[in-house]
Structures are given as structure tokens and as C-alpha cells.
Amino acid sequence: MEHFNTSCREGFILVGFSDWPQLEVFLFVFILIFYSLTLLGNITIVALYQLDPRLHMPMYFFLCHLSFLDLCYTTTTVPQLLINLHGHDRTITYGGCVAQLFIFLTLASTECVLLVVMAFDRYAAVCRPLYYTNIMHPFLCQTMAASSWAVGCINSLIQTGLMMAMPLCSHQLNHFFCEMPAFLKLACQDIEGTEAKMFVARIIILVVPAILILVSYVHIAQAVLRVKSMAGRRKAFGTCGSHLLVVSLFYGSGIYTYLQPMHRYSESKGKFVALFYTIIAPILNPLIYTLRNKDVNGALWKVLSRSRDLW
């Protein structure tokens, strides 16, 4: 065991998608395109929020945080994946692996909480429109955003600390990045106690936020049904439906990966499921939250027109 722990401290080999060499070129092109679009879309949202004062409202404040999260979230894992797919060096140092795990869990946990905050913002806007400005005042918005980051960081510290305390019996990690379920498969001894603690933390960070979001949207749906205009109902349900699609994709894939018992966890399936919350969801967020948004579209055209005039 000491020999294995020593080798693990020296680093890990990320197996990635080497079991399917025929897919590696396709995955490299697919992921590179999606990563580039994710960077472009989320950088655009952050830049528009900073450049256009008309977007300095609670909804766009949280959307800016979400876009920044997605930028960092994908950058934590995707460059490493692209290197592994393109080259032959699939190693990562122990320190680099722990850092990647901590940052990834911090950002993912923060996004789980931030999506709840955004659902509450939409609940206040739709169900309490007369009191919206009083409820969502700047201090509360800043406090909720800061709390999202704090909860994410605390959850990551707990889970990363538990992982580092485990004795590991292999340095071959069957994943494309340093993810917790893949780490648990490397444990040398019975980890039921550690797994139980992690399970509780995951319930708090995944299931509770998902339930709160669903409750918020149930109230929003009830408020929308009271709208007399059929066009207004259709527009509201279309917007809420698209939001719930992204939330379901993010939480659904996360719950599948992190809440199933370890003896049932399939590393092969886990790698493909992980693509949904590391690649697909971050590119959908800017599309879903801004594609039908007149304020964001107007701000974008204004910036583009200003840039064209300068040229």
C-alpha cells in the first residue's frame, strides 16, 4: 500500500477515451468547437454586462456570474482533455490533480447554488412584480452571489479533504479529468464511512437546490396561468421551459454521476455523461438565457455598431 501511495503522490495517468481510439479525432474536433463557442458566448455576456449600464439589473448580474463560472468551469477540464486527445502524454501531477479537483468542485457547487438564486430572482419578478425592486436590492443580490461562492468553496474543501485522506492503490485514473467518483474507485480499503459523508454533502449541494428550483418554477407556472394573454403565456412558458431544460441537463447528469452507489458506477458511462455538464451545459447557458432576450440582443447590436463606427 505504501508503494502505491507513493506512486500516486507522484502523479496519475488519465485514461480518458483511449479505450475508443477511433473516437478520439472526432471528440477532439467536437470538443474544440464547443469549447471555442463556450468561450465566445460567455465572454460576450460578461463583456456586455460591463459595457452596457442598462444591463445592470439583478437578472443580468446573476447571469454575468453564471457566465464567468462557465468560463472557468470548462477551462478547468477541457484544455487537459484536448491535450490528452491530441497527444500521447496523459499524465497529470498529484498536485495538479488535487488543484483541478478542488477548483472543479468549487465551480460546480457554486453553479448549483447560483441556479437556485437565479430561480428565486425569476420567482420574485413573476410572482411579486410590485415588490421586485424592494426584494432584489443590490445588497441582497451581492450577498446571495457571495454566498453561492462561499458554499461552493466549503463543499469543495470538505470533499477534496476527504479524498486526500484516502489511501489509493493505483495511479491510473479511468477518466478524462480528476473527478471524485473515479478517485473513489482507486481506494485501497473500505470507504463506506467516507462515501457516506460525501453522499450527504452531495445531497445538500445537488438535490436540495434542484428541489428549490422546481418549487420556484411551479409557483412561476401558476402565476403564468393567471395571465389572460395567450401570447404572454406562450412566451413565458417557452422561456421557463428552456431554462428548465438547461437546469435538468446540468442537475440530471450531476445527480446520475454523484448520487449512485459506487458499486454501480460505470467509469466508461461516467466519462460520456461528464461531457454533458462539462461541455454541453456551459454552451447552452448563454444561448438559452440570452437568445430570446431583447435587452442583451440590443446591447450586443449597440456594441457592434459602436465598434463598426470606430473602424
- CA distances for 80 relative to 65, 86, 140, 142, 311, angstroms: 24, 10, 37, 33, 37
Report yes or no on 103 lying in a domain. Answer: yes
* Sign of the dihedral through C-alpha 295, 296, 302, 306: positive
Mean per-residue pLDDT, 138-148? 94
Report yes or no on 2 lying in a domain. Answer: no
pLDDT digits over 291-311, tens only?
Answer: 667 777 777 777 777 666 555
State yes or no: pLDDT of 9 exceeds 70.
no
CA-CA distance, 104 to 119, in Å (whole number)?
A: 23
Q: How many domains does the chain have?
A: 1
pLDDT score, position 2: 40
Query: How buried is 37 (Cβ within 10 angstroms: 0-12 exposed, 13-18 middle, 19+ buried)?
Result: middle
CA-CA distance, 223 to 122, in Å (whole number)?
A: 11
Mean per-residue pLDDT, 40-68? 88
Contact 209, 116 (CB under 8 A): yes
State yes or no: pLDDT of 87 exceeds 80.
no
Report yes or no on 16 lying in a domain. Answer: no
Report yes or no on 173 lying in a domain. Answer: yes
Report yes or no on 3 lying in a domain. Answer: no
Report yes or no on 269 lying in a domain. Answer: yes
Mean per-residue pLDDT, 153-164? 89
Mean per-residue pLDDT, 76-91? 84
Residue 308, Cβ neighbours under 10 Å: how many?
Answer: 8
Host domain of residue 117: 21-309
pLDDT score, position 149: 96
CA-CA distance, 201 to 100, in Å (whole number)?
A: 19
Mean pLDDT of the chain: 83
Report yes or no on 198 lying in a domain. Answer: yes
CA-CA distance, 264 to 260, in Å (whole number)?
A: 7
Report yes or no on 47 lying in a domain. Answer: yes
CATH code at 258? 1.20.1070.10
pLDDT band at 151 (very low <50, low <70, confident <90, very high): very high
pLDDT digits over 258-293, tens only?
Answer: 888 777 778 788 888 888 888 888 888 777 776 667
Using CA atoms of 98, 100, 104, 107 in order, give the dihedral in degrees to the nearest 10: 100
